[in-house]
């Protein structure tokens, strides 16, 4: 039994070592990726549910690794967050996103805003607001053209600091959207305190609509709550016409999802906006 126990121990240790080594390797490659221009941005359109106008685009990061090919954020963002690399990475995203938005505007294309995902470790840095101000100034973009998407857990990690940071951003005109709403430790007190412009209804509540009566009740409650508090709602992960129609019935304000448009590159967004203009 002893020998068996030792073998088991050794097995787990080796497996853990491989995992740690994998992470470390990915972390080092990611650091290089940032320097060597292997990262790029995609943009997923967001639409007004009634007028069907394009109301914004969410900025989604991608990594084109020369060996492995396309690496999705689900794989590298957690590593970037743990290692602190998310700070320079997030700074790059913010700057690139604002510059792209300014390019679209210079082309005469009408897009109200871009939404950039911001991690807890970014928001917790005192110079984060300076970085946002710099990105806006460099691109010449007014603050209201930028929305930051943060999750509930990001807001709760250090709520006092988060509210000071968000107050500075709000004074710059930057909008706030609460991402993945309802999936974390949601607190209604935080909703009141942070007063976001938009609540993003998480895909997990959307995917089984309209059939799942519990999800329907949750989504309906979120929409009513948001409306009573003067906030807009946007449903993410909308994939079917049935979901869209049901969300419209419930009074949801905005839509994002594969049904309406996948994450795409800047020129595809420009083409779409160009068609709307002409």
User: Which stretches of the chain bind Ca ion, using CB under 5 A?
Assistant: 117, 149, 179-180
Task: Compute the least distance from the CB of residue 213 to ligand C2E, in Å.
Answer: 22
d(CA 78, CA 137) in angstroms, rounded, equals 29
Write out the binding residues for ligand C2E, residues 86-115 only, by CB under 6 A: 90, 93
Indicate which single residue of 157, 239, 268, 272 sits in contact with ligand C2E (rule: CB under 6 A): 239
Residue of 26, 33, 77, 247 that binds ligand C2E (CB under 6 A):
77
**Beta pairing class for 69-71 and 114-117:** unpaired
Following DSSP, what letter does each residue of 84-104 receive, concatenated? STHHHHHHHHHHHHHHHHHHH
E strands, 171-275, in order? 175-181, 198-201, 232-235, 254-255
- Give me Rg for the CA atoms of the chain: 21
Compute the least distance from the CB of residue 8 to ligand C2E, in Å.
35
Q: Which is nearer to ligand C2E, 9 or 265 (CB)?
A: 265
The alpha carbon of residue 124 and the mean position of all alpha carbons in its chain are separated, in whole angstroms, by 17
Closer of 235 and 250 to ligand C2E (Cβ): 235
- The least CB distance from residue 236 to Ca ion, in Å, is 5
For residue 101, which of 138, 145, 148 has the smallest C-alpha distance?
145
Q: Specify the stretch interacting with ligand C2E by CB under 6 A; choose among 66-74, 127-135, 140-148, 265-273.
A: 66-74
CB of 106 to ligand C2E, least distance (A): 23
Task: Report the SS3 class of residue 69.
Answer: strand
Is residue 61 within the footprint of ligand C2E (CB under 6 A)? yes
Q: Show the binding pattern over residues 12-51: x = contacts ligand C2E (CB under 6 A), - = does not.
A: --------------------------------x-------
Give the whole-angstrom CA distance, residue 267 versus residue 107. Answer: 11
Among 166, 174, 179, 253, contact with ligand C2E (rule: CB under 6 A) = 179
Bridge pairing between strands 175-181 and 114-117:
unpaired
DSSP, res 128: H
User: CA of 172: how far to CAs of 167, 195, 264, in Å?
Assistant: 9, 16, 28
25-33, 164-172, 181-189, 236-244 -> range binding ligand C2E (CB under 6 A): 236-244
- Using CB under 6 A as the criterion, which residues of the chain lie in contact with ligand C2E when the complex forms? 44, 59-61, 72-74, 77, 90, 93, 117, 119, 179-180, 236-239, 257-258, 263
């Amino acid at each position: 039994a002893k020998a068996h126990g030792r073998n088991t121990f050794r097995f787990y240790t080796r497996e853990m070592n491989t995992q740690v080594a994998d992470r470390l390797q990915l972390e080092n490659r990611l650091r290089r990726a940032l320097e060597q221009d292997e990262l790029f941005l995609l943009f997923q359109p967001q639409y007004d549910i009634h007028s069907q106008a394009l109301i914004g685009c969410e900025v989604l990061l991608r990594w084109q690794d020369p060996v492995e090919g396309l690496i999705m954020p689900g794989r590298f963002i957690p590593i970037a967050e743990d290692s602190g690399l998310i700070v320079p990475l997030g700074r790059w995203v913010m700057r690139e996103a604002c510059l792209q938005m300014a390019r679209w505007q210079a082309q005469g294309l009408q897009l109200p805003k871009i939404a950039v995902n911001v991690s807890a470790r970014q928001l917790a840095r005192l110079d984060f607001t300076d970085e946002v101000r710099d990105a806006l100034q460099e691109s010449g973009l007014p603050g209201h053209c930028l929305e930051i998407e943060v999750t509930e857990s990001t807001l709760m990690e250090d709520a006092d600091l988060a509210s000071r940071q968000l107050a500075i951003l709000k004074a710059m005109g930057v909008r706030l959207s609460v991402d993945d709403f309802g999936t974390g430790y949601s607190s209604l007190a935080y909703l009141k305190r942070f007063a976001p412009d938009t609540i993003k209804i998480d895909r997990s509540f959307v995917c089984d609509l309209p059939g799942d009566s519990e999800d329907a009740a949750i989504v309906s409650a979120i929409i009513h709550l948001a409306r009573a508090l003067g906030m807009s709602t946007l449903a993410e992960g909308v994939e079917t016409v049935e979901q869209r129609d049901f969300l419209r019935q419930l009074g949801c304000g905005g839509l994002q999802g594969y049904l309406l448009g996948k994450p795409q590159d800047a020129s595809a967004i420009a083409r779409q906006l160009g068609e709307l203009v002409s």
